[in-house]
Amino acid sequence: MSKETNILIIYTGGTIGMVKNPATGSLSPFDFSHIIDQVPELKSFGYNIETITFSPLIDSSDVTPDFWIKLANTIKENYSNYEGFLVLHGTDTMAYTASALSFLLENLQKPVIFTGSQLPIGTLRTDGKENLITAIEIAATKKEEQPLVPEVAIYFENKLYRGNRTTKVSSEHFNAFASPNYPDLAEIGINIKYNNSAIYYPTKKEALKIYDKIDSRIGIIRLFPGLDRDIVEYMTSSKKIKGLILETYGAGNAPAKEWLIRALESAVKHNKIVLNITQCMAGQVDMSKYDNGKRLLNAGVINGYDMTTEAALTKSMFVLGQFSDYEEIKEKLNKPMRGEITI
């Protein structure tokens, strides 16, 4: 390979790739092989920028686990030819896809940077150009010939976040994402200030490994006052559901109702995983803190600590896809695999 920096843009769909048809005024995707024509500023980098466009393009609302596996395999197939990867993705499920990719790509040693935009790249006030330009620079940046951000990350509106720590917080503001429980990997102003202590750097070089099994038989139970008993008992007893994400109050608390505890105990007894994460934007689960939390702990509920819903869901799907032993599954869920948990 030449010493030229090679960056691969993978356009999967989303607002960022839209331009306005001057004749009709409607928005339609543009050909990303002509990205330099749309964003001529990219010439200033001097990078070799190549593109792959998914066919068909996908609205991020239609993302599925099969899409995650296709994306992971696309990176694997091109891994040796590029120094960094940029994934253009719709914002609605970007945090889910970035979380999933962090688990599907093991021994990752190159940047996989997700970005998108709130306004199409072909509009005057678009945030797409800045997001695209900066994300490419981040994907290409090295120090002593080593990538500066060798992990799955999301860049949006002047902040770089660990992918599996990120959640979408706004449907209308340019700063659409947040990482409430983990420091930003970089902050972008006049200069890019990397937070090296927050970035994961592999200690040894190993070959990239791709996983292609995901078990999506997961349900989410979000607690709220008036939660219906029949619905909970249906979900905890359903043979189609292999795991449950329990979105609890505060530090991991649930109502002190006997029927709820019995339902959760029965689910655990039948080897269903039940993973406890907090509804709060920030903070983490500590089931030993209050009596109502201790009841969940005694029922066999697993501590999800400070995982986002996106990370908890995709990690559960990933772990269930790779392992069959119940104790091993619980062990994997209860400790960090890709920096998604703070313990």
Amino acid at 81: N
Report CA dihedral (179, 181, 185, 190) to the nearest 10 degrees.
60
DSSP-assigned beta bridge partners for residue 88? 11, 115
**C-alpha distance from residue 302 to each of 56, 65, 90, 146, 305 (Å):** 39, 23, 32, 37, 9
Indicate which residue of 5, 15, 93, 134 is catalytic. 15
Question: Based on C-alpha coordinates, what's the Rg of the chain?
Answer: 21
The residue whose two tokens read 């795991």 is 243
d(CA 307, CA 329): 16
The residue whose two tokens read 């006049």 is 190
d(CA 340, CA 182): 9
Does residue 15 have an active-site annotation? yes
The residue whose two tokens read 């008993």 is 229
**Residues whose CB is less than 8 angstroms from the CB of residue 264 and which lie 6 or more positions away in sequence, other chains included:** 236, 246, 274, 296, 299, 300, 301
d(CA 219, CA 241): 7
**C-alpha distance from residue 215 to each of 220, 221, 241, 242, 314 (Å):** 14, 18, 10, 8, 9
Query: So which residues are the catalytic ones?
Result: 15
